[in-house]
Structure 1
Amino acid sequence: MEGKLYEASLTGNVQALNALLHEDQLILDRLSLTAFNETPLHIAAMRGHLQFATVVLTQKPKLAMALDNQRRTPLHLASANGNLEIVQELIRLGSTSGDVCGVQDQDGLTPVHLAAMNEHLEVLKALIQANPQAAKEIPATGETILHMCVHYNRFEALKVLTELWNEEELAKITDHGGNTLLHAAAINKRIQILNFLLRIPSIKGNGNAVNRHGLTALDVLDQCPRDLQSLETQQILMEAGVLRANDLRPLPKSNLQPSANFSQTKRKGLISKTWARYLNDDKQWLEKQRGVLIVAPLVAAVVAFYTGINPPGGTINTQIGGYSLGNAVLAEIDMDKYNGFVAYNTFTMIISLGMVVILIAGFPLRNKFWMWVLTLGTLFTVVFMVATYLQSLGTMAPDGYVNATSIWICLILLLGCGITALIHTIFFIVWVVMKLSKRRMPETQATRNQSAAQV
């Protein structure tokens, strides 16, 4: 007879259920003695058989608290499948037997967790209204329900659930690893959720919180694979004022002296101020604009590539005399000029692509070496682009004539690039020398102390 009951639950046959109850009024009471993993109410809740579930609940409300082999109640299954009407019936008729909304399965998940993970918003609201505290239960994974929403990218469910906590609590809520919601959004690169969280003042104000490993949200993002999403996430975090853990630590006393010296150089000359700025600049504007900076060399490389395959004068597209199809017209007329054009254009493309590789590879742009490399790369790209331009003008102009004004403007630009490259190179060399001298100073001091001790 129990087999017929389970068959009726699979199809939601209310008439068959009533017939079985009329034949044996204790049939639902004997379910605890059967070897089935789920009760008929579990099956009806999972399949959405509302009338069948209502009759079973009316006859035996305690079945709302029955557990299957994974310790899930019928409300767990109905919530996971988004069966709103059955959820409402289980809450209404099953609440007399206990807190049906707060029951945890073998993984520590309540029906609220399952509804949020599947983003059944109406079910989620009904469960929260019945028992808001069930959403705050911590499952075996150690993640809060908010962290789970971030992990599974359940943005709408997250917005509903955040109303259960005040702003201060939202800023401090963490998982078992001490990760805040901002950490979770950064790890999973959830751009939409990240922007939503940063609009909450308390979360933005606590943006530099560290987890149990002493890492901020920006630090954990650095450990993730680099792609366009990570670059966008990094830019959002930096614009919100999120720093790395190393930048939060106070400088040792030995490092405070340059700052004092910098304040004293404010009244000195222009060179002293510029040098002090070069040594102490910590605005990290290059790091913040990494994603934007990639565009410039990429555009230069694309232009150089297009110019290389479409040289001035075009290519031979019809068989004329002894000329080969596809050859550059300029190459057939003046090979020396063509070689110069190709060389300048190739340098432009290769240097630009090299800069793109540096920016994408994630090298720390706060490092003076990479700043120097990018600066020289940009200047060399400009120089070779100007050289390519002049070479092209000379090729297209009658008898190689180029307007003197155009030549002088280009020469002035090239002179400015050379002066800028020289200044940055001098600054970089001096900076390297100072770094090396500082490293040798402790060794020299130790040698002196050892000699003094021997005396």
Structure 2
Amino acid sequence: METKLYEASLTGDVQALNALLRQDQLTLDRLSLTVFNETPLHVAAMRGHLHFANVLLTQKPKLAVALDNQRRTPLHLASANGNLEMVQELIRVGSHDVCCFRDQEGLTALHLAALNEHLEVVKALVKANPQAAKEIPATGETILHMCVNYNRIEALKVLVELWNEEELAKITDDGGNTLLHAAAINKHIQILNYFLKKPSIKANGNAVNRLGLTALDALDQCPQDLKALEARQILMEAGVSKANDLRPLPKPLQPFTNFSATKRKGLLSRTWARYLNDDKQWLEKQRGILIVAALVVAAMAFHSGLNPPGGTISDTQNGRYSLGNAAQTEVDMDNFSQFVAYNTVTMVIPLAIIVLLISGVPLRNKFWMWVLTMGTLLAVVFMVATYLQSVAMMSPDMYVNSTTVWICLIWMLGCGVMALIHTVFFVVWVVMKLFKHRTPEIDMIRNQGRPFDI
């Protein structure tokens, strides 16, 4: 008898169900004694057999709150499949409390509807019992965090209306992560922009989780790619900082200095202090713009390499066309080789800068700052050299007017002077770091060799 009942529920055969009920009116009452994993109403809810489900609920309304082997009600299954009419009927019969029933994972029917983004079902469940959205599953995530993690932005927009602005900014999971943390960790750009349009979430953007990390810190812990760079740019423009930047630095004890010593502090000392203390945070904020600039320079060099000054010429040999050669190779191969060398360096250095920028290394690090500065200056020098060589190749007898030559040479000289200054400052900074590292060891050795005072 039970087997026939389940077969009828699979096909939604109402006539077979009525025939079974006429044979034995206790058929549905004996379901609690069977070993099946779910009731016929569970099967009907999954299959969407609404008429069949109505007959079952009319005969035995308690089936609306029956549990399967995973502690799911028929409402769980109907919500997961987005069957709105079935959901409405189950809520009507099972009362509003059935919306808060949780399965073995701690999920309500609203959780399953939101994760599958059945928006009409989500609205119906919220209208029936808004408290269902506040249930926390075994994972410790709120339903809003789950929508963020699974990138269900449309369901998220429906559910956020259940919290006011202040509550929305402070809602966290069991790890202390706010909604902004979750969006940054998953690098969901659309959700990130949506949250930052809300004043309360933007004002609370520097909140830290239980590990003491802001949303920007949490993003840095994730694998770095172009989406991570875009998310970083969005967070920084919104005023989100790293946790270390939010903590006030302790003021070091200042040694006693007389007025005359302070007065003698000149331009060089102030410049040196600026080099040591400036954290170059503006470079972190402009990382995306630097990548675009480097790509433009590399693309220009790539185009110049494939389209050299003077163009290319093609020839036929034995009735077949050969690949076009640069016209300059027919005139002066040495000058063309020099042009190719300059142009290659101009293309490769920006590509190396791009690799450095997308690798995620902190640009406030003095070494990487120096490497980036040297690479940029070198690319500029070779770009000017490539231009000068191209103009000479296109001029009669390699003639270039003196004004152009002097402007290019002065520009390259200026880049060289700037590179020398940065290198000197960097070398001095390294020497000072090494000296400070060795000073405690030297003092310890001296103290060990000093006789005891009597």
- Please indicate, yes or no, whether the TM-score normalized by the shorter chain is above 0.5: yes
Distance 1:242 1:303 in 2: 35
Q: Does 1:278 align with 2:275?
A: yes
Q: 1:449 Cα deviation (Å)?
A: 4.9
Match of 1:407 among 402, 405, 408: 405
Larger displacement relative to structure 2 (442-451 or 430-439): 442-451
Match of 1:329 in 2: 327
Cα 1:266–1:414 change in 2 (3 A) is farther
Match of 1:19 in 2: 19
Match of 1:135 in 2: 133
The count of residues paired between Structure 1 and Structure 2 equals 446
Match of 1:310 in 2: 307
Q: 1:311 Cα deviation (Å)?
A: 2.2
Map 1:370-385 → 2, pairs under 5 A? 370-385=368-383
Contact kept, 8 Å, 1:57 with 1:94, in 2: the verdict is no
Larger displacement relative to structure 2 (431-440 or 125-134): 431-440
Map 1:166-181 → 2, pairs under 5 A? 166-181=164-179
Match of 1:365 in 2: 363
Distance 2:287 2:178 in 1: 26
Instruction: Give runs of ≥4 in structure 1 deviating > 6 Å.
Output: 264-268
Distance 1:70 1:413 in 2: 74
Counterpart residue identity of residue 298, structure 1: L
Q: 1:390 Cα deviation (Å)?
A: 1.0
Distance 1:155 1:325 in 2: 53
Map 1:74-93 → 2, pairs under 5 A? 74-93=74-93
Per-residue CA shift, 1:321-361, capped at 9, x if unaligned?
Answer: 9xx96443323322221222122112212222221121121
Match of 2:227 among 218, 221, 229: 229
Distance 2:262 2:190 in 1: 45
SS at match of 2:347: helix
Larger displacement relative to structure 2 (419-428 or 156-165): 419-428
Match of 1:112 in 2: 110
Distance 1:266 1:150 in 2: 58
Contact kept, 8 Å, 1:197 with 1:203, in 2: the verdict is yes
Contact kept, 8 Å, 2:133 with 2:143, in 1: the verdict is yes
Cα 1:453–1:240 change in 2 (3 A) is farther
Q: 1:10 Cα deviation (Å)?
A: 1.7
Q: Does 1:216 align with 2:217?
A: no
Per-residue CA shift, 1:161-185, capped at 9, x if unaligned?
Answer: 1122223322222222222212211
Q: Percent identity?
A: 76
Per-residue CA shift, 1:77-116, capped at 9, x if unaligned?
Answer: 0110011111111111111xx8211111111111011011
Match of 1:200 among 194, 198, 201: 198
Match of 2:392 in 1: 394
Distance 2:262 2:53 in 1: 81
Contact kept, 8 Å, 2:216 with 2:235, in 1: the verdict is yes
Q: Does 1:295 align with 2:292?
A: yes
Match of 2:124 in 1: 126
Distance 1:12 1:77 in 2: 16
Distance 2:323 2:143 in 1: 67
Match of 2:35 in 1: 35
Distance 2:327 2:141 in 1: 67
Distance 1:417 1:320 in 2: 48
Contact kept, 8 Å, 1:266 with 1:273, in 2: the verdict is no
- How high is the TM-score relative to the length of structure 1? 0.90
Contact kept, 8 Å, 1:265 with 1:273, in 2: the verdict is no
Counterpart residue identity of residue 293, structure 1: L
Larger displacement relative to structure 2 (269-278 or 235-244): 269-278
SS at match of 2:156: helix
Distance 2:166 2:262 in 1: 43
SS at match of 2:248: coil
Match of 1:435 in 2: 433
Uncovered stretches (5+) of structure 2, i.e. residues with no partner:
none
Cα 1:302–1:266 change in 2 (3 A) is farther
Q: Does 1:64 align with 2:64?
A: yes
Contact kept, 8 Å, 1:265 with 1:272, in 2: the verdict is no
Cα 1:24–1:430 change in 2 (3 A) is same
Cα 1:13–1:320 change in 2 (3 A) is closer
Uncovered stretches (5+) of structure 1, i.e. residues with no partner:
none
SS at match of 1:442: helix
Distance 1:188 1:285 in 2: 25
- How high is the TM-score relative to the length of structure 2? 0.90
Counterpart residue identity of residue 196, structure 1: Y
Distance 2:421 2:49 in 1: 79
Q: 1:267 Cα deviation (Å)?
A: 12
